[in-house]
Amino acid sequence: MSKVTVLPIKSFSLNISEIAPDKSISHRSVMFSMLSSGVSEIENFLRAEDTLNSLEIIKNIGAKVEDDGKTIKISSNGIEEPFEILDCGNSGTGMRLFCGLLSSANGHFILTGDKYLRKRPMKRVTSPLISIGAKLDGRGNGELAPLSIRGASLKAFDYESKIASAQVKSAMILAALRADGTCTYREPELSRDHTERMLKGMGANIKVEGLKTIITPLRNSLSPLKIRVPADPSSAFFFAVAAAILPDSYIVLEGVTLNPTRIEAFKALKRMGADISYELMDDKYEPVGNIHVKYAPLHGIVIEKNISWLIDELPALSIVMACAEGESLVKNAQELRVKESDRISTVVEGLRACGIEVDEYKDGYKIIGAELKKAEIDSDGDHRIAMSFIIAGLKCGMEVTDLECINTSFPNFFELIQKITQVKFL
């Protein structure tokens, strides 16, 4: 499966209950189970490459895992030194959070990843961790994986991060749980907060005061996690885009996390004119419910705030911008350049190939809405680029190559797309 042709359609109506489970929560659920001496139970775990790699890693560091295909039960007597090199595959979240979890564990650990992950910046976690006593190293003076970690005693900290990154925040919170005193982490804008919610739910003493998170180190192990992973809003968003760009279309996305740090892209879509409503169904660690999206005429918008709340959805949102009336501007989104691909370049090049006028900036782009045209798009190994342009194909037809990456986050994506249109694999 290296190339797909997508046929255009006029309109569709659909309810989807099988959106991929949330990737951020799935990674955390297996890692945080290592902090409890009880049996954690995880339902609806995302069985995609990234998160299965995290599950494999916790097995290698001493977790006992029972999996009946529905519920994953995890118990551990603490972190053990692994026999294997720990392979995070394509996942920045996996690698950066494991740095935080392992930096205070007894033993020596090596974290590696695929050719894309080995090029992504790691100093954002290795530097603050080293500053509190962690013994971490990697290629390029600690910037690049493979990374090696020798567990060490960690000092209490008051750290101010320059970037709003949930991965950095989570790595530091995990380190703080084993530090020698109360720790404070500050960020410039609130990033996604699953770590704080889940660890608090397990009994950790974590206080959030605006942009400041105060963490008291653990005295005992935490209560086990009992969680049903909700659907991933970043995956659901591709189908929201499909309904938003096709006149007379309507979709219901079921069981999605409605965590306010995750649904900003749906809010942006509403600002562009789409008809969007939410139905709250549950609220344990996170609010969970259904999202309804109905087509309405779209206009351009400016996006410059709360960027970390919609960073993963910007490639798909750029397809909506291309279909909207007028100009759209994305600013302050330089973090896009260090995702699974340089997503400013991949979005700009992809849209230009589809006949759209786009200006590229260091920290974003300007898109002039017009008629999308069929093109051949290479995903550059980036799952969100591949899926965004497949969705654009519903409007105008599209050929997309380099598709394996979709398995990192959304293995049943094509099953769901085939409920809407025909696709041909070459």
Could you list the active site residues?
Answer: 312
311 forms part of the interface with ligand S3P (CB under 6 A)? yes
Site for ligand S3P in 332-391 (CB under 6 A): 335
The residue among 36 and 51 lying less far from ligand S3P, judged by its C-beta, is: 51
CB of 384 to ligand S3P, least distance (A): 9
Site for ligand S3P in 158-177 (CB under 6 A): 165-167, 170
CB of 44 to ligand S3P, least distance (A): 17
Measured between alpha carbons, how far is residue 1 from residues 124, 379, 394, 423, 425 in Å? Answer: 35, 13, 19, 12, 6
Residue 104's identity, in one-letter code, is S
CB of 266 to ligand S3P, least distance (A): 16
Token pair in block for residue 292: 């309804």
Residues near 337 by beta carbon (within 8 Å), at least 6 away in sequence: 343, 344, 345
Q: Which of 44, 51, 191, 328 binds ligand S3P (CB under 6 A)?
A: 191
Site for ligand S3P in 16-45 (CB under 6 A): 24
Q: Is 203 left (phi over 0), alpha (psi -120 to 50) or beta?
A: left
91 forms part of the interface with ligand S3P (CB under 6 A)? no
The residue among 124 and 374 lying less far from ligand S3P, judged by its C-beta, is: 124
What character string, x for contact with ligand S3P (CB under 6 A) and - otherwise, covers 264-303? Answer: ----------------------------------------
C-beta separation of 32 from 222 below 8 A = yes
Q: How many residues sit in the footprint of ligand S3P (CB under 6 A)?
A: 12
CB of 96 to ligand S3P, least distance (A): 7
What character string, x for contact with ligand S3P (CB under 6 A) and - otherwise, covers 128-147? Answer: --------------------
Measured between alpha carbons, how far is residue 255 from residues 99, 101, 228, 408 in Å? Answer: 31, 29, 10, 21
The residue among 192 and 395 lying less far from ligand S3P, judged by its C-beta, is: 192
The residue among 233 and 287 lying less far from ligand S3P, judged by its C-beta, is: 233
312 forms part of the interface with ligand S3P (CB under 6 A)? yes
| Contact window for ligand S3P (CB under 6 A) among 54-62, 73-81, 134-142, 307-315 | 307-315
Binding residues for ligand S3P, rule: CB under 6 A, are: 24, 93, 165-167, 170, 191-192, 308, 311-312, 335
